[in-house]
Amino acid sequence: MISNLLEKYSTWFKELFLDNGMNPDLAIFLNFTINFVGLIILIFAVDYIVKKIIIGGFRLFSNKTKTTFDDFLVVSNFPRFIAHSIPLLILWYSIPIILKDYLLLSKFLLNSVLIILVILCIFIARSILRTTKNFLQRKEKYKDKPLESYVQTFMIFAWGIGIFLIINLITGYSTLSVASLGAVSAVILLIFKDTILGFVASIQISVNDIIRIGDWITFSKYGADGNVTEINLATVTVQNFDNSYTTIPTYSLIADSFQNWRGMQESDGRRIKRSVFIKQNSVKYLDRDDIEKLKEIELIQDYLESQEKDNSLYNIDSEINNYLPINGKNQTNLGVFREYVHALLIDNPEINKDLYFMVRYLQPTDKGIPVQIFCFCYDKKWEHYEKIQADIMDQVLAAIPYFNLELFESPSGKDISSLK
């Protein structure tokens, strides 16, 4: 029925002009011009009306539903793209009838409309993919997943298929032959080498759970030290702690080594690992007066009494000559200091005693004897962690002189001048 109406409309002006004695060629041309202009005006009018109806209907529907998926569809212009497709389909259906006297022009316009429809379909697919990504990112389960990489991957395939179809429409030759597919594949591999590597890396990152959005990573090669804000097909964006941004090629996360602090953030504590360097010539045995003086330090009072008793019993039982402190068992200022630091950590409620917990000596160096604190604090937030660590080191450094120990410190210019 619609075809008959269009057929009658397309010939009505021509018959009218011929009945009035107009030249047949001129009548055909005027008939084509009027019909074509009328068709264009009709298409624009239909596009405007349909767009208003569909977009308004979508917004009304999305406001009444509880799900946010349709809201994201509206934001991504999905209704607008759908509305544009209807007048294009009308145009594609009407052109052969309106332009039946101009076959070459008709064929050209039909191919043009089909190309626009292919591109419009790609935009519709992109709108759906973006809507899906935005919808899933609102869910806790997918919040840290590299959804942008998957969207970009699907869009590459969509554009690839679209380009094949457009080439086919323009040239009239099939793009599915072995030779053409081989040539196109070679070009794609050359142009999209980094994209393909990024795509493979994105899959490996997701499957192996190597990195998530929100992870704190350190990547010295690229100067990155901060939180991951975005993972896409080509790059990973890191917001550094100085609020600058660093972009890292996605494939580098597979090919190179980097540090991910997620394990620390998910564990029961954050490690404190600090050392103080003690001058070796300040280490000595403690005599009775030294021990009595150190007993005034409450944290090690019980330890000193217990250790003194054990040492005395051992020396008596072993008939040790106490004239020289090196004989038998005797306490040293460094050993008592180590026990003091250990007691200081036990007394600190911020320290997790269920994880590794020790105060140890490291290999002596030309800078002295390293006394290392190795423990974990409950609070993993950076600023709190640094405060806890600083408070411990303040106590340790201030306590060293009480044990007649000395910190190693490289001589400064003033020290060297004083020697003269």
Looking at residue 194, what is its pLDDT?
A: 66
Same domain, 248 and 317: no
Q: Are 54 and 83 in contact (CB under 8 A)?
A: yes
Q: What pLDDT digit, counting tens, does each position of 373-399 carry?
A: 999 999 888 889 999 999 999 999 999
| Each residue's pLDDT tens digit, 87-98 | 888 777 777 777
Last residue of a domain, one of 89, 122, 143: 143
Residues 6 and 75 grouped into a single domain = yes
Position 386 scores a pLDDT of: 92
Q: In terms of residues, how long is the chain?
A: 420
The rounded distance, in Å, linking the Cα atoms of 30 and 344 is: 101
Per the model's pLDDT, the better-predicted residue between 224 and 143 turns out to be 224
DSSP β-bridge partners for residue 239: 227, 245
Side by side, the strands of the sheet bearing 224-231 are 245-249, 235-240, 224-231, 216-219, 259-260
pLDDT at 17 over 70: no
What is the per-residue pLDDT for 67? 67
Residue closest to 300 by CA, chosen among 292, 311, 289, 288: 292
- Percentage of the chain lying above the pLDDT 90 cut: 20
209: left (phi over 0), alpha (psi -120 to 50) or beta: left
Give me the number of domains the chain comprises: 4
Q: What confidence score (pLDDT) does residue 14 get? A: 53
Could you tell me the CATH number of the domain that includes residue 409? 3.30.70.100
Q: In this model, does residue 34 exceed pLDDT 90? A: no
Same domain, 259 and 299: no
Evaluate whether residue 303 is within a structural domain. Answer: yes
| 300 occurs within a structural domain | yes
pLDDT of residue 188: 59
Is pLDDT at 225 greater than 80 in this prediction?
Answer: yes
pLDDT confidence bin for 239, thresholds 50/70/90: very high
**End-of-domain residue from the set 88, 121, 143:** 143
Same domain membership, residue 302 and residue 274: no
Q: pLDDT tier at 361 (50, 70, 90 boundaries)?
A: very high
> What average pLDDT score do residues 140-147 get?
68
The reported pLDDT for the residue numbered 183 is 54
* Exposure on the CB side of residue 81, measured as CA atoms within 13 A: 19
Query: Is 191 part of a structural domain of the chain?
Result: yes
The whole-chain average pLDDT of the chain stands at 79
- Count of C-beta atoms within a 10 Å radius of residue 237: 17
The yes-or-no verdict on residue 84 having pLDDT over 50 is yes
* Confidence grade of residue 10 (pLDDT, cut at 50, 70, 90): low
Judging by DSSP bridges, how do beta strands 216-219 and 224-231 pair with one another? antiparallel
Q: Which residues contact 23 (CB under 8 A, 6 or more apart)?
A: none
Cβ partners under 8 Å of residue 389, min gap 6: 272, 274, 377
- Tell me, yes or no, whether 123 and 17 share the same domain: yes
**Within-domain flag for 376:** yes
Answer whether 359's CB lies under 8 Å from 275's CB: no
Does residue 21 lie within any of the structural domains?
Answer: yes
For residue 1, the model assigns a pLDDT of: 45
Please give the Cα distance from 420 to 234 (Å, whole number): 63
CA torsion through residues 258, 264, 270, 273, sign: negative
Is 236 among the domain residues? yes
Are 376 and 355 a contacting pair, CB within 8 Å?
yes
Instruction: Say if 154 falls within a structural domain.
Output: no
- Considering the domain architecture, whether residues 92 and 127 belong to the same structural domain is answered as yes
DSSP SS3 for 37: helix
Q: 298 and 386: one domain?
A: no
Both 22 and 117 in one domain: the answer is yes
Indicate the DSSP class of residue 285. Answer: B
**CA proximity to 371, closest of 239, 282, 258, 307:** 282
Residue 94 domain-assigned (yes or no): yes
Q: How far apart are CA 241 and CA 99, in angstroms?
A: 65
Residue 343 and residue 406 in one domain: yes
Q: How far apart are CA 30 and CA 198, in angstroms?
A: 57
What is the distance between the alpha carbons of residues 341 and 372, in angstroms, rounded to a whole number?
10
Q: For 209-246, where are the alpha helices, taking DSSP H only?
A: none
User: Which of 99, 122, 143 is at the close of a domain?
Assistant: 143
**Mean pLDDT, residues 105-117:** 80
What are 251-290's pLDDT values in tens digits? 888 878 888 888 887 788 899 999 999 999 999 998 888 8
Can you give the pTM of this predicted structure? Answer: 0.56
CB atoms within 10 A of CB 19: 9
Give me the pLDDT at residue 338, please: 94
Same domain? 214 vs 277: no
Looking at the fold, whether 307 and 365 belong to one and the same domain comes out as no
CA distance 365 to 359: 18
More confident: 185 or 93: 93
Over 80: is that where the pLDDT of 29 sits? no
Reduced to 3 states (helix: H, G, I; strand: E, B; else coil), residue 192 is coil
Least confident of 17-21, 80-84, 360-364, 382-386: 17-21
Higher pLDDT, 206 or 250: 250
Amino acid making up residue 110 = L
Instruction: Tell me the CATH number at 178.
Output: 2.30.30.60
Identify whether residues 315 and 337 lie together within a single domain.
no
**C-alpha to C-alpha distance for 199 and 195, rounded to whole angstroms:** 6
> How far, in Å, are 291, 309, 313, 314, 331 from residue 318 at the CA level?
22, 14, 8, 6, 17
Average pLDDT over residues 364-369: 90
Q: Is residue 343's pLDDT more than 90?
A: yes
Q: Which domain holds residue 323?
A: 291-329
User: Could you give phi then psi for residue 347, rounded to 5 degrees?
Assistant: -80, -10
